[in-house]
Structure 1
Amino acid sequence: MTETIHLLIEKYGLLAVFLGCVAEGESAAVLAGFFAHQDVFPALGAFLAAFAGAFLGDTLFFVAGRRFGTYGFVKRQAARPGFGRALDLIARRPVAYVMLNRYAYGFRLVGGIAAGLSAIPAGKFAAVNALSSAVWAILFLGAGYLFGAGVEQFLGKELANPQRLLAALGIGLITTVAAGLAAHHFARRSER
């Protein structure tokens, strides 16, 4: 069973990283870094998948705001708490907003739509989004890569396949729980 899972990860893993990074994606990027350290993925392939997914995801949200601002989905997102603040922030500091929006867990979709509804030119958004996506991919892939180095120190130079999968699942679980706790903390803080 674990051999089948490993073959699927090796064959479709970078596609899964790309798709995972289109959405929030931190867990997918961290796992990609871990697997790059374990030589399951080439590091450049992991970077390109994470970068392309992050860039495309934010671009899609931007386009949704820019082109479909009067549609129900966009209107529902605009009604979410904090959306007015996002519009205010992007009006005052558009470059900083686009650079940092992806680091507010749970806010990426709303943030991209807010950028689309703002006056920021599409070319400027694309350039800043590309830079931000690259930095984001390097940071989260780097975290996974360093975690892989730590696991290697703990478990030995050559991780056996089941150990590698368990370590990867642990990374995904830790990242998801940490991101969820951070989102919950910031949501409660913004309600006050």
Structure 2
Amino acid sequence: MDFNLIDLMKEYGYIILFFWSILEGETGLIMAGLFVHTGDMVLAWAIITAGVGAFVGDQIYFYLGRFKKKYVIRKLSKQKSKIAYVKFLLRKYGWFVVFIQRYLYGLRTIIPLCLGLMNYSPKTFAIINFISALFWSSIIIVPVWYFGDKILSLIAIAKEHWYLAIPLIIVIIVSITVVVKYKQRKLIFKK
């Protein structure tokens, strides 16, 4: 049998979505929203599956921080400023940080790890994390499902006119290069 990613998603969509949501998420949610739009998945089940996957992923990080403190502290030794920032956010905003942590770029995995390190209440974390995970999966899957026709037509146009992406790729590469050079220069001047 010759399977590609689309065929695998159609056949094992919920299983793939669950594990994808544990690891990363947004790309899988977009795919799930499109599959809901085409009728290959059911909206409620896609939202629940992705939400439970995201919940499980964050719980793993939380308990890793809680029970493997030395290992996590060693791994996060270069992230001291982020850890301090998480502590500041938690003191200032409390439980709301748990709710929005999956939207905070660069802190998404560090927050559950830090909360585990800080002996945050497992019950409180689990409840807020579960609600947040379902909310997160809903706010991505539902719009993709609703605007599925427009998204699919844009994908078709992109496939047909792939060469238009070349200037965009060049801009992205140049931007990344400039940012990396800037950060390297900043580090040199700090020393």
Query: Does TM, normalized by the shorter one, top 0.5?
Result: yes
Greater RCO structure (CA 8 Å; 6+ sep) = 1
Match of residue 76 from structure 2: 77
Match of residue 162 from structure 2: none
- How far the C-alpha of 1:74 sits from its partner, in A, is 4.3
Match of residue 159 from structure 1: none
Q: Tell whether the 8 Å contact from 1:61 to 1:109 is kept in structure 2 after alignment.
A: yes
Distance of 1:59 and 1:99 partners within structure 2: 13
Match of residue 113 from structure 2: 113
Q: Tell whether the 8 Å contact from 1:64 to 1:74 is kept in structure 2 after alignment.
A: no
Q: Tell whether the 8 Å contact from 1:30 to 1:140 is kept in structure 2 after alignment.
A: yes
Alignment gaps of 5+ in structure 2: 160-171, 187-191
Match of residue 58 from structure 1: 58
Q: 1:133 to 1:78 in 2, by over 3 A?
A: farther
1:17 maps onto 2:14 in alignment: no
Match of residue 158 from structure 1: none
Q: Tell whether the 8 Å contact from 2:144 to 2:151 is kept in structure 1 after alignment.
A: no
Residue 30 of structure 2 aligns with an amino acid whose one-letter code is V
- How far the C-alpha of 1:140 sits from its partner, in A, is 1.2
* Regions of 4+ moved over 3 Å: none
**Larger Cα Rg: Structure 1 or Structure 2?**
2
The two structures have a TM-score, normalised by structure 1, of: 0.72
Q: Tell whether the 8 Å contact from 1:14 to 1:46 is kept in structure 2 after alignment.
A: yes
Percentage identity across paired residues of the two chains? 25
In the comparison of the two structures, how many residue pairs are matched? Answer: 161
Distance of 2:59 and 2:49 partners within structure 1: 15
Q: Tell whether the 8 Å contact from 1:30 to 1:143 is kept in structure 2 after alignment.
A: no
Map 1:31-110 onto structure 2 (within 5 A): 31-71=31-71, 73-77=72-76, 79-80=78-79, 81-110=81-110
Q: Tell whether the 8 Å contact from 1:90 to 1:118 is kept in structure 2 after alignment.
A: no
Could you say what secondary structure the match of 1:82 adopts?
helix
Residue 29 of structure 2 aligns with an amino acid whose one-letter code is A
Match of residue 164 from structure 2: none
Alignment gaps of 5+ in structure 1: 156-161, 167-176
Distance of 2:12 and 2:106 partners within structure 1: 26
